[in-house]
Each structure stands twice: as structure tokens, then as C-alpha cells.
């Protein structure tokens, strides 16, 4: 992972037969790499693109050089996208570039070119395959034309493994970037087998999280401890606070499409692309910026122009991106920060998006001794620094002209960064029945946190937070950060409230488990508000609230019964699902995980008295993967599945 964490910037390339129609089919100009599915093109019709594939202007060295010149450290090429067409010489199929008029191995040429230009070659490989006769499920619109009779998904899995083996052994990618894992035929066991194949063939090669089904929406990993993969892959988004504790990479397009669409005018400006790169690096992630080459083998002029401009900026400022770590500041009003620690000195790279009108760049809450400051690009003339309490002001030269692109000020400080952040006050919940554990802390070293519980303002004489506090009565916790005996942050406060648990009911419920009902052929994007009559197919009873065998697509299920609560307490509930789900207890919504999405988990709490409480869970699946898991926990305890002994009907 070390080279990958240092890289920060890579090129994504979506290229294949879909470049030939260039996003247009039967007058509709809004398609991209999904055109075969989106435009409902029969497989026999789509096959006719293969003899048209002849990108005579393809120049692997030109592609690799543009990536290198832009400051990109790695390149990810679509060896095979969802349409199944391969950009490499595969012995497993004739649906590849070698059976075209072009007849050249794109992966081989680009891998060699990347090596010549100092860029690591990587491959994107789709698990989903709309062309292979054994891949299931078929597209819904083509089932009449392409029967599933005789299709064998295990046979397809063997084909997939054989092709992945070819890619790894023949082209030695630094990363296998999988995709298309969300359909119901793929599962964790298959993902684990594919991951282990990659590990066995190339132990040092990285594998992204989409090899497995445990992807949290479009972002990181979900709550499952089974999830495999070396890094998370948020798509077309930059997580607001990064993904703490996880290696991650945001893949994003230059315009609105991944594959070439000649009618797409929505090109992001170079300034926007640089802001994205800086924003991602400041949050500890990598930026994988996509190019959709044209059918003749060339990058669109708009992409070439932006790559050249990014490269010009990186030539003077790349030090502030590659090899840096995330910002030590929660936020900065004028831009972002990246960090490089070298011996006894730390370089804070201050990426300025908006220059202050008064010419002074204010760095808030910095506790270190400042050694020097200077502009990274151009003559490294020392800039004047002044301290005003916890803040450091950097004065720009009087003749400074505001640049059109982000500029970087380097602030060198002594030692590891000390940032005067306000304290954090965290707990499992803001309410409790008996007591709640509250942690008052701050991530920066050499700082003391003083707190009060009686609503008064904390001072240097107030207790110092050194261990979790046990709160047993309603109170407001207030805290402030001190450094060397002086307050250096604002006061933060959080109120914790003692509540009475909801009383139990007294139904006749002699049986363990819950009642289950099912409804097929639902076309939902969310759970209807009126749920009294929509589940008409009673399945009987079940020992637990879980799916069991795969229930199919366009289906909804309902579990109803009573939760047998062992003691008065505030209970926490975690509901994970793919697609949407909701949990009600005593008729009140406790967890709302509704909507169309991949596998994600949401949590909620409810204070419950000892005894029986009505419980209801509704779940639905539109298409693709299906998952539902309900867990509970006492304060301070671990989440676990609700056992049969705690469910009654």
C-alpha cells in the first residue's frame, strides 16, 4: 500500500466498443459505456461493433506520457467492461481486440508504455458480463431474446477466474480494480474466492473493495467484518470528512460520462479538477480522474487541454500532493491543507482557493513554533509571519497578483503539528436510562481538556478529562482546550438526558420467533407510508428477522411480533440492508434505512422497559444484491443478532 498512499493521483481510462457509437443510438445522445443496456441493443446487434474496431491513432506512449506529465502516478485501464469485450489477448474468448481489424493487444502496449514513463499500470475488470452466455441474470429487457436456459453461473465464474489469471500473469497490474459486483448472482463467497486468487497470483498487487459484495453504498466498506479489499472506492463524490481509518480513492469523470460521448458539453474546468485533487488529498484519499478516449484511439481535445494545465500546475506544486498526508485542520475558510513530516520539521502545504482581500492568510489554532513560510511555486522568498494568540498570520508580498489557479504557501513548523481544536464530546447516545459513558477528548498532543458538569464555564481549575465520564443524571457537559495553562479553543457543550423507558405491553404471545409476510412484483424506490395491507402473501413464522435464502428481485417482506426486553435500558439497534428497510418498535420509527442503495447500515436507539414491545421490520429489494441484518446492543456492549429467545408472537 505504501506506493499507493504516496501516489495520490491516478488516471482512469474507460475505453471499448462503446466508443464507436460515441454515446448516440437512434437519435438519443445521452449514452456512455452502458449503451448496450441503456439503449436496449440486442447482443447480436452490438456484436457488429467488433469488426468496426480499428483505432489506428492509438499511441500507448502518448497516453502514458500525458498521465506522467499531469503528475499522475498510476493508470487504470478497462481490460474488460460490462459489455464483456476485452482490450487484451484472451485465450478464453474471441470477443477481444485480437479478433478485430486492429488486432493489437492494448493492455500489452499500454503496460509497456507505462513502464517507460514511470507510471504504474493497473487494470479495471468487470465481474458483470452482458455478453457471456453463462452470466446471470440477463438484462430484464432481453430475457425474451436471450433465454437463461442452460446458463451456468459457476461455469462463468471459472471463465472470470481464467481471464483474471491471464491479466495478472501477462500484464502484471499494480491494482486489480473490480466492478459490477452488485447483482444477486455475486456473493461474498465468490468475492472471497476471486480475492484469494489475486492474492495467490500476485501477493503485492492491490485489489479494490468491489471484488466483494460488502461495499457501503458507493463509498467504503459496510459494517460486515467479512469484507475484503485493500481500499474503498467512492464514485463521483468526495466524502465530506474522508473515510477515517480506511484507504480510499474517489473516481470521478472529467465531464458527465465515463465512456466517450461526443455530445457531452459538461467539461469541468481545470480549476475545478485541481480543487477536487487538493480536496481529496487533504482528506487522505486518492483521486482517480477518468478519460474516455475516442474510437480512433485519441483523447478528446478537451481532456488533453485539461491534462496539460493540470501538469503545468503539478510541475510547480506537485510536492504538495504526492507523498503528503491529510490535513491537521478540521476546516479552513480559504482552502485546504496537506502535510509532510520530515525529521524535526513539518511542512504544512496551505492550498489557497480564495485569497483574503487584506493580503493576510490566517492559520487558525496552530500551537507550533513557526520556522518559515514561502510560496511553493516561484522564488522561495520568505513571507512575514505574525502570531495573534492561537492564530498565525502570513503576509503576502504587496506586489502579489492573485492567481487564477490554486496557489500553495508552505508553512514550516517545529515538530509534529499541534492544532488547537475544540474538544469532542462523544457517547453512544444523548439519552440514557441508568447511565451513559461520555468521552471528552482532543486529537492533538500536549493539550489538556478541562470540563464541568454543572453548566458553568470550565476554567484551569476545572477537572481535566483523562478517562470516560459516567453520567447518571441529566446534565450538560461543557469542555474547553488548554495549552500550557491557557485556553485555546471555544467552549463546547452537550446535554445528556435521563429518560423513562417505554412501558411494555401484555399480549398473548406464547411462541418464540416472528410472523413473516411477503409481497412479490413491487416496483418500489422506498417503503410506502401505508403498510397495513400491502403484504398479502403470509409465509408463516420464522425464528429470527433475517432473509434466509435469496428472496429474488422486486420483492418486499415484513416481520412482525414482540421484542422481549430483559431489563429497563436504552437499547441500540443497527439495521443493515440492500435495498431499503425500516424498524419500528412500539409503533415508533427507530431506524430508517429506506431507499434504493447498496448494503449500508444505520443505527437508532429506544428506551425500553422490561417486557414485551411490538416490533416490525419491512424490507424491500428492487434488483441486484439482497441483504438484511438486524442487531441490538446494551450501552457499552457489542452489537449482536437478536436471538430467537428475545422474539415472540
Q: Cα dihedral sign for 211, 212, 215, 217?
A: positive
CATH number of 7-320: 3.20.20.80
Predicted local confidence at residue 535, as pLDDT: 62
Spatial CB neighbours of 244, under 8 Å, sequence gap ≥ 6: none
Confidence of residue 568 (pLDDT cuts 50, 70, 90): very high
Question: Which residues of the chain are in CATH 3.20.20.80 domains?
Answer: 7-320
Among the ranges given (30-39, 363-372, 395-404), the one the predictor scored with the smallest mean pLDDT: 395-404
Predicted local confidence at residue 404, as pLDDT: 87
Predicted local confidence at residue 216, as pLDDT: 63
Predicted local confidence at residue 244, as pLDDT: 87
Q: What is the pTM of this model?
A: 0.85
CA pair distance 277, 238, nearest whole angstrom: 10
Confidence of residue 548 (pLDDT cuts 50, 70, 90): confident
Predicted local confidence at residue 133, as pLDDT: 97
Of 2.60.40.1180, 2.60.120.10, 3.30.565.10, 1.20.58.760, the CATH number of 335-414 is 2.60.40.1180
- Read off the pLDDT of residues 435-485 as tens digits, 9 standing for 90 and up: 999 999 876 667 899 999 999 999 999 999 989 999 999 999 999 999 888
| Phi-psi label, residue 9: left if phi above 0, alpha if psi -120 to 50, beta otherwise | beta
Predicted local confidence at residue 643, as pLDDT: 94
pLDDT(217) > 60: no
pLDDT(223) > 60: no
- Read off the pLDDT of residues 164-195 as tens digits, 9 standing for 90 and up: 999 999 999 999 999 999 888 999 999 999 99
Predicted local confidence at residue 485, as pLDDT: 85
CA pair distance 468, 426, nearest whole angstrom: 10
Predicted local confidence at residue 534, as pLDDT: 59
Among the ranges given (16-25, 33-42, 521-530), the one the predictor scored with the smallest mean pLDDT: 521-530
The runs of H, that is alpha helices, within 202-325 are 270-282, 301-317
Predicted local confidence at residue 381, as pLDDT: 85
Predicted local confidence at residue 380, as pLDDT: 79
Average pLDDT over residues 539-556: 86
Average pLDDT over residues 602-620: 96
Q: Chain-wide mean pLDDT for the chain?
A: 93
Find, among 295, 296, 363, the residue nearest to 327 by Cα.
363
- Read off the pLDDT of residues 226-272 as tens digits, 9 standing for 90 and up: 889 999 999 999 999 999 889 999 999 999 999 999 999 999 999 99
Average pLDDT over residues 37-41: 97
Class of domain 424-498: mainly beta
Among the ranges given (127-131, 397-401, 619-623), the one the predictor scored with the smallest mean pLDDT: 397-401
Q: Which residues of 540-576 are buried (b: 16+ CB within 10 A; e: fewer)?
A: eebebbeeeeebebebbbbbbbbbbbeebbbbbbbbb
In this prediction, what percent of the chain has a pLDDT beyond 70? 96
Residue 342: in which H helix or E strand, if any?
strand 335-342
- Read off the pLDDT of residues 54-110 as tens digits, 9 standing for 90 and up: 999 999 999 999 999 999 999 999 999 999 999 999 999 999 999 999 999 999 999
- Domain 514-648 sits in CATH 2.60.120.1560: yes
Question: Which residues of the chain are in CATH 2.60.40.1180 domains?
Answer: 335-414
Amino acid at each position: 500500500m505504501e506506493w499507493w498512499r504516496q501516489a495520490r493521483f491516478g488516471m482512469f481510462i474507460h475505453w471499448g466498443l462503446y466508443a464507436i457509437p460515441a454515446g448516440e443510438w437512434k437519435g438519443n445522445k445521452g449514452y456512455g459505456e452502458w449503451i448496450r443496456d441503456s439503449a436496449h441493443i440486442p447482443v447480436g446487434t452490438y456484436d457488429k461493433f467488433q469488426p468496426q474496431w480499428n483505432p489506428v491513432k492509438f499511441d500507448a506512449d502518448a497516453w502514458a506520457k500525458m498521465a506522467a506529465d499531469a503528475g499522475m502516478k498510476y493508470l487504470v485501464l478497462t481490460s474488460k467492461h460490462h459489455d464483456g469485450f476485452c482490450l487484451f489477448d484472451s485465450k478464453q474468448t474471441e470477443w477481444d481486440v485480437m479478433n478485430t481489424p486492429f488486432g493489437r493487444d492494448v493492455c500489452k502496449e499500454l503496460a509497456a508504455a507505462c513502464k517507460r514513463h514511470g507510471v504504474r499500470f493497473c487494470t479495471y475488470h468487470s465481474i458483470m458480463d452482458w455478453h457471456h452466455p453463462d452470466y446471470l441474470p440477463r438484462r430484464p429487457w432481453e430475457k425474451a431474446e436471450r433465454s437463461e436456459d442452460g446458463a451456468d453461473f459457476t461455469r462463468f465464474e471459472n471463465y472470470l477466474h481464467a481471464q483474471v489469471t491471464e491479466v495478472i500473469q501477462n500484464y502484471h497490474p499494480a491494482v486489480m480494480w473490480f466492478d459490477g459486483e452488485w447483482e444477486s448472482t455475486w456473493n461474498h463467497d465468490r468475492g472471497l474466492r476471486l480475492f484469494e486468487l489475486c492474492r495467490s497470483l500476485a501477493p503485492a498487487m492491490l485489489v479494490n473493495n468491489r471484488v466483494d459484495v460488502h461495499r457501503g453504498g458507493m463509498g467504503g466498506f459496510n459494517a460486515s467484518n467479512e469484507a475484503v479489499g485493500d481500499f474503498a472506492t467512492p464514485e463521483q463524490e468526495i466524502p465530506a470528512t474522508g473515510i477515517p481509518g480506511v484507504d480510499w480513492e474517489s473516481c470521478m469523470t472529467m465531464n458527465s460520462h465515463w465512456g466517450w460521448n461526443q455530445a457531452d458539453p459538461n467539461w469541468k474546468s481545470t480549476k475545478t479538477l485541481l480543487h477536487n485533487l487538493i480536496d481529496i488529498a487533504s482528506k487522505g484519499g486518492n483521486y482517480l480522474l477518468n478519460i474516455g478516449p475516442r474510437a480512433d484511439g485519441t483523447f478528446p481535445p478537451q481532456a488533453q487541454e485539461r491534462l496539460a494545465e493540470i501538469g503545468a500546475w503539478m510541475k510547480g506544486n506537485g510536492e504538495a500532493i504526492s507523498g503528503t498526508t491529510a490535513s491537521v485542520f478540521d476546516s479552513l475558510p480559504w482552502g485546504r491543507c496537506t502535510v509532510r513530516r520530515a525529521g524535526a520539521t513539518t511542512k504544512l502545504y496551505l492550498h489557497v482557493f480564495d485569497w483574503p482581500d487584506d493580503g493576510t492568510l490566517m492559520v487558525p489554532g496552530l500551537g507550533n513554533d513557526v520556522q518559515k513560510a514561502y510560496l511553493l511555486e516561484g522564488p522561495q522568498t520568505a513571507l512575514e509571519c505574525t502570531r495573534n494568540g492561537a492564530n498565525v498570520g502570513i503576509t503576502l508580498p504587496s506586489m502579489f497578483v492573485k492567481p487564477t489557479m490554486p496557489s500553495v504557501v508552505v508553512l514550516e513548523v517545529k515538530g509534529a503539528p499541534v492544532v488547537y481544536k475544540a474538544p469532542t464530546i462523544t457517547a453512544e447516545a444523548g439519552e440514557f436510562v441508568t447511565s451513559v459513558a461520555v468521552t471528552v477528548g482532543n486529537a492533538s498532543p500536549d493539550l489538556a481538556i478541562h470540563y464541568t458538569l454543572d453548566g458553568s464555564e470550565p476554567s484551569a481549575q476545572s477537572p481535566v478529562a483523562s478517562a470516560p465520564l459516567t453520567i447518571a443524571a441529566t446534565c450538560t457537559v461543557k469542555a474547553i482546550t488548554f495549552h500550557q495553562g491557557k485556553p485555546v479553543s471555544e467552549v463546547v457543550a452537550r446535554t445528556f438526558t435521563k429518560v423513562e423507558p417505554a412501558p411494555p405491553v401484555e399480549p398473548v404471545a406464547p411462541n418464540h420467533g416472528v410472523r413473516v409476510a411477503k409481497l412479490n412484483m413491487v416496483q418500489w424506490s422506498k417503503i410506502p407510508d401505508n403498510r397495513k395491507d400491502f403484504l398479502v402473501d403470509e409465509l408463516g413464522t420464522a425464528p429470527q428477522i433475517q432473509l434466509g435464502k435469496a428472496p429474488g428481485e422486486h420483492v418486499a417482506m415484513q416481520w412482525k411480533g414482540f421484542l422481549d426486553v430483559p431489563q429497563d435500558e436504552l437499547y441500540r439497534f443497527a439495521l443493515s440492508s440492500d435495498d431499503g428497510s425500516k424498524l419500528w418498535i412500539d409503533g415508533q420509527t427507530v431506524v430508517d434505512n429506506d431507499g434504493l442503495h447498496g448494503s449500508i447500515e444505520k443505527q437508532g436507539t429506544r428506551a425500553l422497559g422490561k417486557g414485551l414491545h411490538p416490533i416490525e421490520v419491512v424490507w424491500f429489494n428492487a434488483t441486484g444484491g439482497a441483504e438484511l441484518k438486524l442487531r441490538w446492543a446494551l450501552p457499552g456492549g457489542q452489537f449482536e443478532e437478536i436471538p430467537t429467545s428475545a422474539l415472540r408472537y
